């Protein structure tokens, strides 16, 4: 069932809204000419009507039980913001040019996460389009866009959205988003959209006025969870399932990133996520191209990825936070918050081998056992990264790695991610060492809510006391500080770092052993005392050997490599990469003693 206002052409429009507990729902046309029209109720609690003389651009809302006026819960556009009327749009009016588009296969993706509002000075969808060529030159073939569902005001990370179907007005609305996606497909770039199916934001959230969209059965840090398993939950599920279908079908999105699925609470024989995966698979068949679901999960639970037949949800991939935490702790030495569970080379070694570092053992930060084993799950089911919006933005200074570690460590971080057997993921600006922070920011209009958010964030950041000054999330200046400085990537160390990323991506695409995502064709070992790690990957006729030194001191060690002639193809310490000059030989043949420069990355390939 298509929810919301569905334009049929010739100024005719279907309106469908779910309000099972109300006695009367009326369609109120606000502009161009005011009208109040009755709606008919079906057995499942849907109210519908088909109306003539409704051109695209018509503003409307619903009058509930003759008392209050509310925008459409499935509004496709809120041109005047979250409290104003919804607008009818013609989804068929946009002329797509991607009829032959098949998408980038998940195992081949090089993903780049961006926030529309801070990616460019204009902060719009269309302003992103001129930058796509530069991303393609880098080697990016998939962009992940932080949530675009309508949120209050014009500044927000997007996780406070309250209209899951409506494209943010300040970003350029539905037309701008479609232009961006079409342009991406013309460049051979897939589009992953971040969606939030675990909660809605507080301001402009009127779903309660329509029906039991929420449940109080479970606690949540983000307010009452959505009702996925209580009375009336079938139609709440349908609301979000249809939302996924809408993005795939009407916006040609290639994949959805599902935010924080651990906060989707339910006790059900058929979990919501499983139903979503089934629907996505069916739609893939109908559309003739593969669509993907990628989870963010804090659970370290392989049920997220396992098939329905094996008792899983059947999602395609998930973020691998353990890989990030292991890498970050090694690079920075930080041991607060969850980083206290990491910090050893053996943690990163296990992340390379098995994905999850915590697979059932005791985690000191959590003060309990955590996770289960992902060793048998295919490598292409995991996304790995050294930075994300969360890991940067949830710090008091919003500081990126470029402000925490030195230049050599940035090259090492990139090398670690891009030679892994997993799907690599970069956060916008990371490729050239962007130094602008990425703070948490909002633009609410409710004074009490603004003050509550300030206090909440100040409490959250108490752990960073003495490390920096708290930035007001509501301040426009906080938001402006987060804008990317694109001019940096054309000169100095920023240009070199960009070229380093480009070279690593190119090798990943052309060297068979790096191209093949397989945890079984991999060996990893480390010398814990020296903070140095060795990695070998192979295919039938190609092998690579990598030395990763996380020590801030030079290390002299005995390196064991398989017999054969190994030739160096990349070394972060070379002067070409603004290094001091490598001490590693151009060729190695077997076990030998080597001197490895601090925080360095070297890659060898076996000669045939």
Catalytically active residues are 259, 296
CA 450 → CA 208, 218, 472, 529, 574, distances in Å?
22, 25, 10, 48, 50
Report the alpha-carbon distance of residue 92 to residue 75 in Å, rounded.
16
Q: At what angle do helices 233-250 and 272-287 cross, to 10 degrees?
A: 30
Report the alpha-carbon distance of residue 312 to residue 170 in Å, rounded.
39
Give the DSSP H or E segment for 15. strand 12-18
- Among residues 338, 306, 307, the alpha carbon closest in space to that of 321 is found at 338
Q: Which residues contact 594 (CB under 8 A, 6 or more apart)?
A: 547, 556, 557, 558, 559, 583, 584, 585, 588
Quote the tokens at residue 416: 């670690």
Q: CA quadruple 220, 364, 399, 383: dihedral positive or negative?
A: negative
Report the alpha-carbon distance of residue 402 to residue 141 in Å, rounded.
24
Three-state DSSP class for 341? Answer: helix
CA 390 → CA 101, 119, 424, distances in Å?
31, 16, 16
Report the alpha-carbon distance of residue 597 to residue 556 in Å, rounded.
9
Q: Return the biggest CA–CA distance within the chain.
A: 84
Report the alpha-carbon distance of residue 426 to residue 445 in Å, rounded.
33
Three-state DSSP class for 173? Answer: helix
SS3 sequence of 183-207: HHHHCCCEEEEEECCCCCCCCCCCH
Burial of 249 (0-12, 13-18, 19+ CB in 10 A): middle
Quote the tokens at residue 526: 């480390």
Radius of gyration over alpha carbons of the chain, in Å? 25
Beta strand ranges found along 230-336 (DSSP E):
255-258, 292-295, 317-319
Q: Which residues contact 448 (CB under 8 A, 6 or more apart)?
A: none
Residues paired with 318 in a beta bridge = 295, 382
CA dihedral 340, 345, 351, 356 (to 10 degrees): -30
- Among residues 312, 308, 276, the alpha carbon closest in space to that of 292 is found at 276
Report the alpha-carbon distance of residue 246 to residue 45 in Å, rounded.
21
């Amino acid at each position: 069932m298509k929810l919301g206002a569905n334009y049929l052409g010739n100024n005719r429009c279907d309106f469908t809204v779910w309000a099972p507990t109300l006695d009367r729902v009326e369609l109120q046309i606000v502009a161009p000419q005011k009208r109040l029209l009755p709606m008919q109720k079906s057995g499942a609690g849907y109210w519908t009507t088909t109306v003539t003389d409704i051109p695209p651009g018509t503003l409307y809302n619903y009058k509930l039980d003759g008392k209050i006026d509310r925008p459409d819960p499935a509004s496709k556009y809120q041109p005047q913001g979250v409290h104003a009327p919804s607008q009818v749009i013609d989804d068929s009016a946009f002329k797509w040019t991607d009829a032959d588009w098949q998408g980038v296969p998940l195992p081949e993706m090089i993903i780049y996460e961006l926030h529309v509002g801070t990616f460019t000075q204009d902060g719009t969808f269309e302003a992103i389009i001129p930058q796509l060529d530069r991303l393609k030159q880098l080697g990016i073939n998939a962009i992940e866009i932080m949530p675009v569902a309508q949120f209050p005001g014009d500044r927000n990370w997007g996780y406070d959205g309250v209209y899951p179907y409506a494209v943010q007005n300040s970003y350029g609305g539905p037309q701008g988003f479609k232009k961006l996606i079409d342009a991406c497909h013309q460049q051979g770039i897939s589009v992953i959209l971040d969606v939030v199916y675990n909660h809605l934001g507080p301001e402009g959230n009127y779903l309660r006025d329509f029906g039991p969209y929420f449940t109080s059965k479970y606690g949540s840090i983000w307010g009452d969870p959505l009702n996925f398993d209580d009375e009336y939950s079938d139609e709440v599920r349908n609301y979000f399932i249809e939302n996924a279908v809408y993005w795939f079908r009407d916006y040609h999105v290639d994949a959805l990133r599902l935010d924080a699925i651990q906060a989707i609470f339910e006790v059900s024989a058929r979990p919501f996520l499983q139903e979503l995966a089934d629907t996505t698979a069916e739609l893939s068949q109908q559309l003739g191209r593969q669509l993907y679901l990628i989870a963010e999960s804090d659970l370290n639970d392989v049920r997220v990825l396992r098939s329905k037949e094996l008792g899983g949800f059947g999602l395609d991939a998930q973020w691998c936070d353990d890989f990030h935490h292991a890498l970050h702790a090694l690079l920075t030495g930080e041991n607060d918050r969850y980083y206290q569970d990491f910090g050893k080379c053996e943690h990163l070694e296990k992340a390379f081998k098995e994905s999850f570092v915590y697979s059932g053992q005791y985690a000191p930060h959590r003060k309990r056992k955590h996770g289960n084993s992902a060793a048998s799950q295919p490598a292409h089911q995991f996304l790995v990264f050294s930075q994300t919006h969360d890991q940067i933005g949830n710090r008091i200074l919003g500081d990126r790695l470029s402000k925490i570690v030195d230049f050599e460590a940035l090259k090492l971080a990139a090398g670690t991610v891009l030679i892994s057997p997993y799907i690599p993921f970069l956060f916008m600006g990371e490729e050239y060492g962007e130094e602008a922070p990425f703070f948490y920011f909002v633009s609410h209009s409710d004074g009490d809510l603004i003050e509550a958010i300030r206090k909440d964030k100040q409490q959250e950041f108490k752990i960073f006391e003495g490390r920096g000054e708290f930035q007001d999330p509501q301040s426009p200046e906080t938001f402006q500080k987060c804008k990317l400085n694109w001019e940096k990537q054309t000169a100095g160390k920023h240009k070199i770092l960009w070229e380093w990323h480009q070279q690593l991506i190119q090798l990943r695409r052309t060297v068979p052993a790096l191209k093949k995502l397989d945890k079984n064709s991999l060996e990893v070992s480390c010398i814990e005392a020296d903070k140095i790690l060795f990695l070998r990957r192979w295919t039938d006729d190609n092998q690579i050997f990598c030395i990763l030194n996380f020590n801030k001191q030079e290390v002299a060690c005995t390196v064991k490599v398989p017999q054969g002639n190994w030739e160096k193809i990349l070394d972060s310490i070379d002067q070409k990469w603004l290094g001091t000059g490598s001490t590693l030989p151009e060729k190695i043949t077997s076990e030998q003693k080597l001197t490895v420069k601090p925080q360095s990355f070297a890659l060898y390939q076996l000669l045939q």
